[in-house]
Structure 1
Amino acid sequence: MSEHARVGDLPQVGVEFMDNDHEEAMGLLARVVETLEASRNDHAAPESLRRDLRDFIEHSRAHFRREEVIMKAVHFPPFHIHKNEHDQRLEELVTYVDDLDSGVIGLEDLKDKFLNEFLPWYQRHCATMDQATARYVEKQAAATGQSKA
């Protein structure tokens, strides 16, 4: 497995559902990375790769929705910036699968994009945007005497 897809690479943000979702995401990403690294460009993309990418996309959609609900609930000021990152990356992931299915992109190109563009973004997003969101949620919860989600 690539060093890119390790649960330990993501900091805990302190909001339980976010930390749980990130851990689950890293498990799904590890499967995608393992399949990509084991694949050869001269072979068709294995169905397991498509399945794992789709599983990760569905997990991400649900996770992003949960984050967006909590951001709205606490009136997180950069909500639209954070949501825009979610929307852009979901679209990118769907495009990966569509391009792979249509033959527009091969396994080596997908591997390069996924390992060198998507995974570093995901790790940065969790370490920056999600950390900021979690801190704001905690601050708002403390101010109102509520527990964090």
Structure 2
Amino acid sequence: MLLDVSQIPKVALERMNKVHEEEIKLLNQLFESIDKGKEIEEIDDLFKAFVEDVKKHFSSEQEMMEQFNFFAYPMHRGEHDMILGQLANLEKNWEKNKNPKLIKAYIENEFLPWLMNHIQTMDTVTAHFLSHFVRD
């Protein structure tokens, strides 16, 4: 296991916490599949599911931020766009090389550290702001 869901920082909106938990569960499945040397097809399916999950995660946050005119929306969106760009590059590389080590390295060294920091900073502020408008 890469990360226990209990280690994810909590924010003021429970719906965001649930999205983060589901994303970590999926990330753990992908990581374990790679770590245990599972078939490329399984890794491919999990990787695609992870990328789609991240896109939905970011999209739902961005919709709420836009709807309630969150003051730091451009900065928060910029972080999402950066990660989506990285994932797009990783997807291209994956389709070309099917090298699970590249996905594993990205998850461990880039995505997970970024996500933990992003939750503790951007998502914490965003959730606090949105909690004044959104009911869980």
Normalised-by-shorter TM-score class: 0.7 to 0.9
Q: TM-score, normalized by length of structure 2?
A: 0.88
Percent of pairs with identical residues? 29
Give the stretch that moved more between structures: 108-117 or 25-34.
Answer: 108-117
Structure number with greater Rg is: 1
Structure 1 runs (4+) deviating above 6 angstroms are none
Q: 1:87 aligns with which of 77, 81, 84?
A: 81
Structure 1 Cα separation of the partners of residues 124 and 42 of structure 2:
32
CA RMSD in angstroms, aligned pairs only: 1.9
TM-score, normalising length: structure 1: 0.81
Matches within 5 A, 1:1-149: 1-2=1-2, 5-39=3-37, 46-103=40-97, 106-138=99-131, 141=132, 146-149=133-136
Could you list the per-position Cα deviations for residues 20-46 of structure 1 after superposition, in whole angstroms to 9, with x for gaps in the alignment?
Answer: 111110110001110122239xxxx61
- Considering Cα pairs closer than 8 Å and 6+ residues apart, tell me whether 1 or 2 has the greater RCO: 2
**Aligned-pair distance for 1:73?**
2.0
CA contact (8 A) 1:36 1:49 kept: yes
Counting matched residue pairs gives 136
- Structure 2, unmatched stretches of 5+, are none
After superposition, the C-alpha distances for 1:37-62 in whole angstroms (9 at most, x for unaligned) are 2239xxxx611111111111111111
